[in-house]
């Protein structure tokens, strides 16, 4: 694979390497990041060949000391548990990257005031295949060229002026793939109820959603225009749309879904600050 991380030459310490951080790491390694540039501190993460793996920060400190690039990839409510041990790692030349839901730049700056920059990143799981979305906001003297080099292989990068909208973005794009997967699952289940086999229903649903989103992504037209190209007056598509659109229930449902996810992000922020 063509190396696409040529502008990122630092060494990256991952504190926590669960599903999201692991997906990012897999993509980075596939895009040319050398395994020698990465270390992981996580007692629960599955070992990755040739990547240094430490159970605790104390173990890593004994071996290496401060780091130029540190990414927080554990659960947000664990921040208080690791912040004290992490402080000696985060010095004046450290970029502190965080993918922790609900943990603001102000929270990071309060916990790690010595960092050269605090960078909040909101990725999603499609980063694993380079088709994700990463919203990013930062404080301090961030090396934007290096950050761009690190995030671009993950997919679309959206720079935010500040992180005031991050709780909503967390729900909208971070949680979004799970909502789409659930919609596909429900679509397939409905097909099965009406007579398709389970396997055929899932294959057809996956291909239908995949083709529709690819068509939209490659088009300059709005979704409503594409809807009108599929539906005809009095036809089968319109009959289904009449159910979807009745009383604005679909938009109301999705609004409630996003609100619940956004509000949970705020609750997690309180837990990370020890206020929950």
Model confidence pLDDT, tens digit, residues 164-190: 989 899 899 999 999 999 999 999 999
What DSSP letter does each residue of 238-260 carry, written as one string? Answer: HHHHHHHHGGGHHHHHHHHHHHH
Half-sphere exposure of 56 (CA within 13 A, CB side): 6
Distance CA 153, CA 29 (A): 10
Residue 276: per-residue pLDDT: 58
Helix, strand, or coil (residue 101): coil
Sequence ranges of the domains in the chain: 12-165, 176-267
CA dihedral 16, 22, 27, 32 (to 10 degrees): 50
Model confidence pLDDT, tens digit, residues 7-59: 788 889 999 999 999 999 999 999 989 998 999 999 888 888 789 999 988 88
Residue 244: per-residue pLDDT: 95
Distance CA 172, CA 179 (A): 9
Residue 1: per-residue pLDDT: 36
Q: Which residue has better confidence, 220 or 167?
A: 220
What DSSP letter does each residue of 3-25 carry, written as one string? Answer: ---TT--S-EEEE---HHHHHHH
Average pLDDT over residues 236-243: 96
Which class is domain 12-165?
A: alpha beta
Write the CB contacts of 232 (distance below 8 Å, at least 6 apart in sequence): 238
Average pLDDT over residues 115-120: 96
Average per-residue pLDDT for the chain: 91
For 224, phi and psi rounded to 5 degrees?
A: -60, -35
What is 176-267's CATH superfamily? ProC C-terminal domain-like (1.10.3730.10)
Model confidence pLDDT, tens digit, residues 44-54: 888 887 899 99
Distance CA 242, CA 45 (A): 47
Model confidence pLDDT, tens digit, residues 129-165: 999 999 999 999 999 999 999 999 999 999 998 899 8
Is the pLDDT reported for residue 266 higher than 70? Answer: yes
pTM: 0.84
């Amino acid at each position: 694979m063509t190396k696409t991380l040529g502008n990122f030459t630092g060494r990256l310490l991952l504190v926590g390497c669960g599903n999201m951080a692991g997906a990012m790491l897999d993509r980075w390694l596939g895009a040319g990041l050398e395994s020698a540039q990465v270390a992981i501190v996580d007692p629960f993460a599955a070992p990755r060949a040739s990547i240094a793996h430490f159970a605790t920060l104390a173990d890593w400190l004994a071996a290496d000391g401060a780091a130029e690039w540190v990414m927080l990839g554990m659960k947000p409510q664990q921040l208080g548990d690791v912040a004290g041990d992490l402080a000696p790692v985060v010095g004046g030349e450290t970029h502190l990257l965080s993918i922790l839901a609900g943990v603001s730049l102000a929270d990071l700056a309060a916990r790690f005031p010595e960092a050269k920059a605090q960078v909040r990143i909101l990725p999603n799981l499609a980063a694993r295949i380079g088709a994700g979305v990463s919203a990013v906001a930062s404080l301090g003297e961030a090396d934007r060229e290096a950050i761009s080099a690190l995030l671009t292989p993950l997919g679309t990068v959206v720079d935010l002026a500040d992180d005031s909208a991050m709780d909503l973005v967390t729900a909208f794009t971070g949680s979004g793939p799970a909502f789409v997967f659930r919609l596909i699952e429900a679509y397939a289940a409905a097909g099965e109820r009406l007579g398709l086999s389970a396997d055929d229903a899932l294959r057809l649903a996956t291909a239908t959603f995949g083709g529709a989103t690819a068509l939209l992504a490659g088009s300059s037209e709005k979704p409503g225009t594409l809807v009108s190209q599929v539906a005809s007056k009095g036809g089968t598509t319109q009959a289904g749309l009449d159910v979807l659109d009745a009383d604005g229930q679909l938009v109301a449902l999705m609004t409630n879904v996003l609100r619940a996810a956004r509000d949970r992000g705020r609750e997690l922020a309180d837990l990370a600050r020890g206020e929950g």
